Chains A and B, each alone.
Chain A
């Protein structure tokens, strides 16, 4: 039985305490955003599976446990422990967040080019930056998801990245969110804002890594604003702990002739829900979304994507592949909305799912909503086991069944991994995918 109404009230009470203590000292406009968001959350509460957008994902794990705010927790972590998660390329432009809070000691920001701003959202907001005020919480709507509302209500820290006009950053900026021991269930609400100004280009890697096995919850929201003729490639790696829950919204807003790409890799957590909302708000903008999910055990990953073509002559591509082993479950909802007047839209969406075991389950809902006539929109979805004929072929060539199965599965995953332009990150993820495949094969061999 869920104790939802009480839990909801507890979060509202938490908010009151938070706004008096931990969250205090912020500008008035910041406080106003938070207050509006908590009243939104208090009105809706947690979603239920009766809610169309949440039909296939039960968030009972989050409703039945009370998570304390992680802000108060200050675990210690050595630089050495952090280092293994930092990419060599751009190692000196890495912001590290521990349990949702910016850690100056663990971060390394010496390499950030002049003019580029990359730092703690809280510090920048407190310094009176107009840029944060102009963009923060202007894109991710609290009415879209109760978790965005909760994130906005408890907004306190995260990354703020600003790339000024005509600036091109070669190496990726890294945002590393680590969760370390907490002794009790805690929740962090990391909140990121990335603004790439006109004619600028940058790539950002946002990683969520769990260093503990215990129950905790990360509720992240990232807003990305890509101005005219700018380019942003955002990578997102979710490697939370096995008992963790991860809810996230990635919201992008694009101006004329801009280009935005998101590559999201989901490997961790027991329950993960990622809402991706991309708005093409200027003519000639391009948006690409790539996603790879590889899960096992009883893991559950839900991607809910919406691409809004609000202006004519925009293109979007979307490719999501899922590999589901054991009793894991994957959900994909891909909405493409073409607004009235958004002529000459070209949009393609593909969702392929591979079910490796009897217990695995997948649900796919590609959706097209089209209000303009001169458009080209397609979507395709497939679900199924490994092709027995391909498997047989490899076996006739002397490759053992499990090895052959892994080869085919890997080929399925590498389609997405190949989209990663940072070689080191690609190799690292490639390695992780391989480890999982080998573990799966071992289990199967042992089971036979």
Chain B
């Protein structure tokens, strides 16, 4: 049984090719001059450069965290090139001027950049290495007052908005990787949904790492003003390389009074080969702030890629009656290591949070759920429900659960449940007896296991997620 599972798990990574484009990159290394150079290339205002430099000086004082349940070769931060962009002759005016090779890359990945070929109304911002190459539906969104721009464009067009919210949820001093990102971040998306507007379509950003010996440091900032609603999707992939590449992103969400933000991720960075060589180090800080009363932030993530994942999408439930949700499926295989989970910080009254986490480990991987639910002293009537289930496939992998529950208000009610199990032989036997192949049975059971999370995903993503899961677990039963 195990050998077949392993066979299935060793499916090649589909997105591992590279695109031959000439790239414009800064020399490897990290110092104030590099940061000035990046800032200059992006034609940034003075305040942003100052902000970056401050973050950098702070980063120098921080040490890399070691508490996560992952092991990896230390990263040489001086060996990375912090900026790489496809070379271009002049400023891009329209999609026609984008390097066709880059366009082809996204087409190959199934990301529609040409609006006529669009999937049912999803606006896409495509980020290639350090720069955004195309953003679709800008005009249509503008009609509704929705701003959806590459981060560097937003800095130029809406400096006041960016300045007001940048770093207000994840301060530049927050942690080692957030500080690094704040110093060197290159591109990402900026979304602003004005008061009372329900964003007419799903917004999506696709991140692609292409150049070697670089890292990707994107920054996403989404602001939903009073009563607004937005659903945002994020996808990613990278070529197969023997070196480990670093991806240290920061995502900030701000939901004002009565606003709702739904943030979905399908993370499929290159996970390394079956011997654990290569792969992306995915060290990400994601945090949302339910700043106004009755706001809601919902995180949904499907994590299948990356050699190392270190990611805790969190919610600050600052306003009264705010709601935070976290739905996660994390699949690890071969030598992948994932330490992921969430933080729910209940600050306002009658705040509610739900955590549903499903971990599947196969091969020699280690899959850890680490989460914190903190109920502050004045969070009267707070309510939390957490459920963390793990599934093990094979006897060389590990599944771990580390929830931290910290209650400082006695009116809070909180429940936590966790289970760990394998797919029951009797379950498979039952399905086989009904004429299903063992593989179909496993896929059905695994999909059932993840269903609670998948149903939170927007439709296109749910299909993609199920396919991804199928790929990473094919052949896992024999």
Contacts and interface: CB of A to CB of B under 8 A. Distances in A.
Contacts of B415: 380-382
A357 B407 CA distance: 12
A362 B407 contact: yes
A379 B405 contact: no
19 contacts: A56-B406, A324-B410, A355-B407, A355-B410, A361-B408, A363-B406, A364-B405, A365-B402, A366-B401, A367-B403, A372-B395, A374-B395, A374-B422, A377-B420, A378-B418, A379-B401, A382-B414, A383-B405, A384-B414
A82 interface: no
Q: Is the interface of B mostly helix, strand, loop or mixed?
A: strand
B409 to A, nearest CB: 7
B364 to A, nearest CB: 11
B416 interface: yes
Contacts of A382: 413-416
A356 B411 CA distance: 9
A355 B382 CA distance: 14
A441 interface: no
B143 interface: no
B397 interface: yes
Interface in A15-45: none
Contacts of A381: 403, 405, 414-416
A371 interface: yes
A63 B417 CA distance: 37
Given A364-B405, A365-B402, A378 B417 contact: yes
A384 B390 CA distance: 26
A297 interface: no
Contacts of A340: 395-396
A385 to B, nearest CB: 5
Interface in A319-370: 324, 340-341, 343, 353, 355-370
Contacts of A385: 410-413
Nearest to B2: A373
Interface residues of B, number: 33
Contacts of B392: 370, 372-373, 375
A363 B397 contact: no
Nearest to A355: B410
B394 A373 contact: yes
B410 A356 contact: yes
B412 A384 contact: yes
Nearest to A352: B415
A52 interface: yes
Contact of A369 (B397, B400, B405, B407): B400
A368 B390 contact: yes
Nearest to A388: B411
Contact of B421 (A52, A343, A366, A376): A376
B279 interface: no
Interface in A93-125: none
A373 B397 contact: yes
A341 B406 CA distance: 34
Contacts of B417: 378-380
B429 interface: no
B398 to A, nearest CB: 5
A296 to B, nearest CB: 13
B35 to A, nearest CB: 31
Nearest to B372: A365
Nearest to B383: A384
Given A340-B396, A380-B417, A385-B413, 13 more contacts: A359-B410, A363-B406, A364-B403, A367-B400, A368-B418, A370-B390, A370-B398, A373-B393, A377-B418, A379-B417, A382-B413, A382-B416, A385-B410
A387 to B, nearest CB: 9
Top 9 A-B residue pairs of the complex, sorted by shortest distance between their CB atoms: A355-B410, A373-B392, A384-B413, A368-B401, A377-B420, A364-B405, A381-B416, A378-B419, A371-B398
A56 B404 CA distance: 11
Contacts of B420: 368, 370, 375-378
A366 B416 contact: yes
A334 B205 CA distance: 41
Contacts of A341: 395
Contacts of B403: 364-367, 381
Contacts of B404: 363, 365
Nearest to B405: A364
B124 interface: no
A357 B414 CA distance: 16
A45 B396 CA distance: 37
A379 B418 contact: yes
Nearest to B366: A371
Interface in A378-400: 378-385
Nearest to B419: A378
Interface in B146-168: none
B199 interface: no
Contacts of A361: 407-408, 410
Contact of B398 (A52, A364, A369, A374): A369
Given A363-B404, A364-B405, A365-B404, A375 B422 contact: yes
B353 to A, nearest CB: 13
Contacts of A56: 406
Contacts of A368: 390, 399-401, 418, 420
B47 interface: no
Interface in B167-192: none
B402 A370 contact: no
B352 to A, nearest CB: 14
A360 B390 contact: no
A364 B384 CA distance: 14
Which one of B392, B394, B408, B420 has the highest number of Cβ atoms from chain A below 10 Å of its Cβ? B420
B67 interface: yes
A339 to B, nearest CB: 10
A277 B148 CA distance: 55
Nearest to A387: B413
Contacts of B410: 324, 355-361, 384-385
A323 B339 CA distance: 33
Contacts of A383: 405, 407, 412-414
B256 to A, nearest CB: 30
A358 B398 contact: no
Contacts of A377: 418-421
A358 B409 contact: yes
Nearest to A379: B418
Given A373-B394, A374-B395, A383-B414, A367 B407 contact: no
A375 B402 contact: no
Interface in B404-448: 404-422
A373 B401 contact: no
Contacts of A359: 410
Interface string A122-135: 00000000000000
A237 B242 CA distance: 58
A382 B414 CA distance: 6
A374 B420 CA distance: 9
A3 B440 CA distance: 65
A285 to B, nearest CB: 20
Contacts of B414: 381-384
A436 to B, nearest CB: 17
A372 B399 CA distance: 9
A367 B395 contact: no
Contacts of B407: 353, 355, 361-363, 383
